[in-house]
């Protein structure tokens, strides 16, 4: 009998602020908006969706919808989520 493979879930590995920051930076560096939103969703899941919902003032369902594949959330929504996650965005000149 073949053994089943476990589906990879990045949120299981996002346990500290340094790992979360590196994960988010890697997603930003790709320039892929969908990947960035997916990474933010993974971080929110690792942190706790209800906790993020409470801190942003968004309902849990709204939070899930904003971070769903194909979603186009408003910037202020993304910014609120990032603040609730305890991360900030910084810029640097492109090289």
* 50 in any annotated domain: yes
Per residue in 7-21, pLDDT (tens digit) is 999 999 999 989 999
Q: Report the predicted TM-score, pTM, of the whole model to 2 decimal places.
A: 0.87
DSSP state of 70: T
* 4 in any annotated domain: no
CA 67 vs CA 29, 71, 91, 94: distances in Å: 19, 6, 23, 27
Across 18-44, average pLDDT: 94
- Residues 87, 18 contacting (CB under 8 angstroms): no
Q: Is the pLDDT of residue 2 over 70?
A: no
CA–CA separation, 36 vs 40, rounded Å? 6
Per residue in 65-83, pLDDT (tens digit) is 999 999 999 999 999 999 9
* 78 in any annotated domain: yes
Domain count, the chain: 1
Owning domain of residue 50: 17-85
- Better pLDDT: 3 or 79: 79
């Amino acid at each position: 009998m073949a053994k089943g493979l476990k589906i990879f879930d990045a949120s299981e590995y996002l346990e500290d602020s340094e790992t979360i920051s590196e994960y988010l930076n890697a997603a930003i560096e790709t320039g892929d908006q969908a990947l960035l939103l997916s990474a933010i969703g993974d971080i929110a899941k690792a942190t706790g969706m209800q906790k993020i919902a409470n801190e942003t003032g968004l309902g849990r369902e709204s939070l899930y919808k904003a971070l769903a594949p194909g979603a186009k959330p408003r910037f202020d929504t993304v910014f609120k989520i990032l603040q609730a996650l305890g991360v900030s965005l910084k810029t640097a000149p492109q090289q």
